Amino acid sequence: MSGLLSIGRTVFTADEAEQALGIGHGAFLDAAERLQRRKALLSPRQGFYVVVPPQYASWGAPPPTWYIDALMRREGQAYYVGLLKAAELHGAIHQAVMEFQVVAAKRLPRIRAGRSMIVFYFRKNMEAVTAGIEDRKTDTGTMKVSSAALTALDLLRYPHASGGLDNVATVIFDLGRRIDRNQLAALSAAVERPVVQRLGYLLDHLGQDELTETMQESLRARGSLPWTELDRQEARDPDFAPGPCQRDLRWRVIVRRVPRADA
């Protein structure tokens, strides 16, 4: 293991190890199991291994940033680190996010990796949002991360992963100044219209309407807008659904409760 770390190598496959060591599959599995018991090795997926440096032994694994790109290449899937984790990387969240959130082109089970939980969210049309995916340097190479614009849209697309609408508003308030207006407009032509409508309303509500003019032009070019709920969960909640609501005419968004950003 120390030999791999000395050359900057932190991941390997079972096939690579067997070939390099000149041993059979059974012998390798026995050795790998011993190393895992000593917390020197992690196997987040069958046949894929991550070296655990001594400084991370008490954690049970190095940070997912060290190996997420190699893992997803092993899976053969397009991906990006997104949602609250991406917002943290963009400096819009000032405390550690509990889940390491990844958006992938395939439905994948979550991974417990030492203290970290890697959680995957599915996006079928990954090609449509390529413009919003950036390469970010890590301690061991690079990884794919959603831009500030794509992160903001995704927070509304995956509300169950975003900590509720008040938390989304708080994050977007800080994220707004990092959003590229032209990229946001381009992505607004590719993302589901209700998601764009909700983000547009929220940006206006947060006083960041300088981002929304080109965004709305892009949205209107797609045709007439149906009404959409700002918070679909509240629309199903009997405590909210029967009561009065606001209707934002600009974005055609039904607002049952105005979100509060913890600014």
Length of the chain in terms of residues written: 263
Q: What is the DSSP pairing of strand 99-104 with strand 116-122?
A: parallel
Alpha-carbon span 170 to 245, nearest angstrom:
22
Q: What is the mean pLDDT of residues 103-109?
A: 96
Looking at residue 8, the DSSP 8-state letter turns out to be T
Cβ count near 86 (within 10 Å): 29
What lies within 8 Å, CB to CB, of 225 at 6+ separation is 193, 197, 219, 251, 252
22's tokens: 């000149």
pLDDT value at 108 more than 50: yes
Give burial (CB, 10 Å; 0-12/13-18/19+) of 137. exposed
Q: What is the DSSP pairing of strand 133-137 with strand 142-146?
A: antiparallel
- Residue 4 — very low, low, confident or very high, per pLDDT cuts 50/70/90? very low
Q: For residue 110, what pLDDT is reported? A: 97
Alpha-carbon span 187 to 250, nearest angstrom:
19
pLDDT value at 248 more than 90: yes
pTM of the model: 0.91
Q: What is the mean pLDDT of residues 62-68?
A: 96
